[in-house]
Structure 1
Amino acid sequence: MEPTKANYALLDQMEAVNLALGYGKLEALDPSKRGAADISFVAPHMDASLAGMGPDGFGGHSENEGLDLLSFPKTTTRAAILIYRLTR
């Protein structure tokens, strides 16, 4: 997914939610290290988009890949508040 001003502006909004929840500062990952997120396929058709909003995981796209189920409350709360704020 190509980095754009609109994507960084959306990331800033997500970071504001992250900070409000006490989760800390967010940093954009270098595009060469992002992998093939699902959003990459539709991002060219969107005004702004984000990747990496899901649960924490490990073993990236290998037979050992897995999810940290305990990260779901954090990531779903953050996503819900971001969506709410974007609709206001």
Structure 2
Amino acid sequence: MGRTQKRAYQEIRPIEPVMDINQIAPQLIGQSLWSGWLMFWATLWPLVLGFCLSGLVQACASRNAMERVMGSHKPGAILRASGLGMV
């Protein structure tokens, strides 16, 4: 083989696009909408649950009882209120 001959694996072929933007765009839009829905759901249900629990506490516990348990600004009362807030 001389220098002018090319082997089969040395052929230069133009790279053909697999898909153009008109085919890819709807798929990308669909994926982004699905990701947005999943993020919305991931934040929605904890918020709803938290608001429901807060409403339940406000409906069941009287203001006087809450002030008696957590009313002062001492470190013990702050720790108690923080602990109850984490639950």
* TM-score normalized with structure 2 length: 0.24
Return the index of the structure with the highest Cα Rg.
2
Q: Which has the higher strand share?
A: 1
